[in-house]
Chain A
Amino acid sequence: MPTGIGFYIVVFWLVVAFLVPLVFPIDPLTTNPSRRLEPPSADYWLGTDNYGRGILDRIVGGAAISLSIGAVTTVVSAVIGVVIGLIGGYVKYLGSVLMRINDGIMAFPGALFAIVLVAVFGRTFIVMVFALAIVFIPIFARITFGEVVELRGASFVRNAVSVGASSTRIILRHITPNLVPLLIVQATFVCATAITIEASLGFIGAGIAPPAPSWGVMVSEGQPYIRTAWWTLVFPCLAIATLIFGMCMLGDRVSEKLNRPGGSDATAV
């Protein structure tokens, strides 16, 4: 179990996002016009925003959004991507066609593509997941495809086939040990990137619609008050920075332990 800074940071935010609301009353949505833009105090530990909502409450709420987006997107794109990669790797002629399409999709700058998709189809959680998944599916598909093709040519696979082993058995026994570590490493960085894109989209106003407490939205709401109410800006920024940094460190550690390359260099989408 890889530990280290990254791991602890991610665990911290998981606890904040999903356990804290079970114990404390967290209310990110109720506006309170009489208590706008108050600095951190005993009542509101992190202050309030321009609608009178507690910053702390909204940060907790935003944590849940970020982590959910990250997790769901990663799982969805990994599953679909692997299936596509497997199909492409096994059905000979389909393979190169699928990979061409893959390259085409990967040609789109990820965040830009997501922005356009969300703009076209609506600013909801589901659409965000869908848009991000489309961006990330090709990554998983390409890794899987590469592994399958490489192993298809390996002699021990051909031996297995000649002895009569079925294709599914070959997949499961021979390809997975190589593939799974690669996928795990890639998944951590896909998750980090998904969270980054969601935050960026929230910031520019192209993400999940308010009043959902997306951290990115919080930063953009806080920017006009940069001189007068720094807490509306600084805390969401710190939250975003620490969570994503933690995920990247975790990913680096995971890839070290599993001895696979990939690293943070894989986040350019």
Chain B
Amino acid sequence: MGNNVLAYTARRLIAGIPVVFVVVFLTFALVYLTPGDAATVIAGEDATQEQIEAVRVSLGLDQPFLVQFAAWGGRLLSGDLGHSLVLPMSVGDALLARAEPTIMLALFAQFIAILIAIPLGVIAGRFSGRFFDRAVNMFAVAGIAVPTFVIGIGLIMLFSITLAIAPTGGYATLSEGLPATLGSLLLPAIALGVAQAAFMVRITRTSMHAVFRSDFVRAATMRGFSQQRLVFRHVIRPGLGPTISAIGISFATLISGSIVVEIVFNLPGLGRLLITAVQNRDIPVLQGLLLVITLCYVLINIITDVIQAIVNPRIAL
């Protein structure tokens, strides 16, 4: 079985290559199409026409599209994402400096989402059609529909202002200890996690509902197992497949959501970097963010596919 999973991983990685290529190509094309002249911007306001042309040649901006693309792609492969137009550092460094809060937030939020969605989904699947199921469904629609920043603000109004039991923002870095970090991230992670959970719970519920009604659960019931054993040993694993896919698919929402959440809760992560870059029209940083986040997303999808194959061995065949 181990061999099957390895082969499957390899196949998924190979299948990801064309997607990666398109992503890289489109990201570059976006920059190429940006209105405005980068050479003029870099050369400065007082530069003469000759100086601007010199800058243009030195940056290779006079070359045809494909040549520029190849050069850019080549720099990419060696890890060079370019230099920020505004900040005194390379794009790569800017990303690294701000990555920690975003990564911690995303992981924490995903963890909370799983903690909420799977039990709710299993119970709703078991008692489908009854009150609990309907209530969960309504919660799920609300969670999906209401934008994350609204949820975030709502949480602040409730917990920070009315009840005054949580800070309104700020981030404690890992150097201050994990509990401090998680504490500062609790409200933001809940805001983000609730939206994720809402999306996941419906998928989980449908899948679990089908498994509860399946032939093999019926046969297992006929062997006299308790509800507890049935749920944990016979329902969850076969039913978890779609949930795992859902995590991969919705990771994009998690990323987009974390940008917004970072603004609401004043966290110094990639989201803030994005906003600053937008305000300053710092194209290289935007490009770098887009590229890195999208490629992470593609990678996450491959990883969730592989996890699926491990949980459900039939997929790897």
A interface list, Cβ under 8 A from B: 100-101, 103-105, 107-113, 115-122, 192, 196, 199-200, 203-206, 216, 219-220, 223, 226-227, 230, 233-234, 237, 240-241, 244-245, 247-249, 252, 263-265, 267-269
Provide the bound-state CA to CA distance between A59 and B281, in Å: 29
Provide the bound-state CA to CA distance between A116 and B281, in Å: 10
- 17 residue pairs of the A-B complex, CB under 8 angstroms, read A103-B18, A108-B294, A109-B294, A109-B297, A110-B256, A115-B259, A119-B281, A120-B33, A203-B149, A204-B275, A219-B150, A223-B264, A233-B153, A248-B144, A264-B140, A264-B145, A269-B253
Judging by beta carbons under 8 Å apart, are A120 and B202 in contact? no
Q: Add 10 more A-B contacts to A203-B147, A247-B145, A264-B199 (CB < 8 A).
A: A100-B18, A105-B26, A108-B23, A108-B252, A116-B30, A120-B286, A200-B149, A241-B147, A252-B141, A268-B253
Which chain A positions have C-beta within 8 A of B294? 107-109, 112
Chain A residue at smallest Cβ distance from B198: A264
Name the residue in B141, B147, B260 with the highest tally of chain A Cβ atoms < 10 Å from its Cβ. Answer: B147
Residue B189 is within 8 A (CB to CB) of chain A in the complex: no
> Given A120-B34, A199-B147, are A105 and B22 also a contact pair (CB < 8 Å)?
yes
Give min CB distance, A268 to chain B, whole Å: 5
Which chain A positions have C-beta within 8 A of B18? 100, 103-104
Which chain A positions have C-beta within 8 A of B287? 116
> Given A199-B147, A203-B149, A206-B278, are A107 and B23 also a contact pair (CB < 8 Å)?
yes
Judging by beta carbons under 8 Å apart, are A219 and B149 in contact? yes
Give min CB distance, A99 to chain B, whole Å: 10
What are the 8 closest A-B residue pairs judged by CB atoms, nearest first?
A104-B22, A111-B256, A109-B252, A248-B145, A245-B145, A119-B278, A244-B145, A268-B250
Provide the bound-state CA to CA distance between A91 and B103, in Å: 43
Which chain A positions have C-beta within 8 A of B61? none
Chain A residue at smallest Cβ distance from B281: A119
Residue from the list A112, A199, A234, A237 in contact with B293, Cβ < 8 A: A112
Residue B35 is within 8 A (CB to CB) of chain A in the complex: yes
Judging by beta carbons under 8 Å apart, are A265 and B259 in contact? no
Q: B16-35 vs A: 1/0 string, CB under 8 Å?
A: 00110111011000110111
> Given A116-B30, A205-B279, A206-B275, are A109 and B255 also a contact pair (CB < 8 Å)?
yes
Q: How many residues of B contact A (CB 8 A)?
A: 58
Provide the bound-state CA to CA distance between A117 and B277, in Å: 13
Which chain A positions have C-beta within 8 A of B202? 263-265
Give min CB distance, B271 to chain A, whole Å: 8
Which chain B positions have C-beta within 8 A of A113? 290
> Given A223-B153, A264-B202, are A244 and B146 also a contact pair (CB < 8 Å)?
yes
Chain B residue at smallest Cβ distance from A203: B149
Q: B128-154 vs A: 1/0 string, CB under 8 Å?
A: 000000000000111011111110011
Name the residue in A113, A116, A244 with the highest tally of chain B Cβ atoms < 10 Å from its Cβ. Answer: A116
Give min CB distance, A127 to chain B, whole Å: 11
Judging by beta carbons under 8 Å apart, are B141 and A264 in contact? yes
Judging by beta carbons under 8 Å apart, are B147 and A200 in contact? yes
> Given A200-B149, A245-B142, A268-B253, are A104 and B30 also a contact pair (CB < 8 Å)?
no
Judging by beta carbons under 8 Å apart, are B150 and A119 in contact? no
Which chain A positions have C-beta within 8 A of B286? 116, 119-120
Provide the bound-state CA to CA distance between A248 and B140, in Å: 11
Residue B236 is within 8 A (CB to CB) of chain A in the complex: no
Residue from the list A223, A234, A240 in contact with B146, Cβ < 8 A: A240
Provide the bound-state CA to CA distance between A230 and B154, in Å: 11
Provide the bound-state CA to CA distance between A203 and B256, in Å: 13
Residue B95 is within 8 A (CB to CB) of chain A in the complex: no
Which chain B positions have C-beta within 8 A of A216? 149
Give min CB distance, B17 to chain A, whole Å: 11
Which chain B positions have C-beta within 8 A of A110? 252, 256
Chain B residue at smallest Cβ distance from A248: B145
Chain B residue at smallest Cβ distance from A267: B144
> Given A112-B259, A119-B278, are A240 and B147 also a contact pair (CB < 8 Å)?
yes
Judging by beta carbons under 8 Å apart, are B263 and A204 in contact? yes
Residue B274 is within 8 A (CB to CB) of chain A in the complex: yes
Residue B157 is within 8 A (CB to CB) of chain A in the complex: yes
Provide the bound-state CA to CA distance between A267 and B144, in Å: 8
> Given A245-B146, A265-B202, are A109 and B22 also a contact pair (CB < 8 Å)?
no
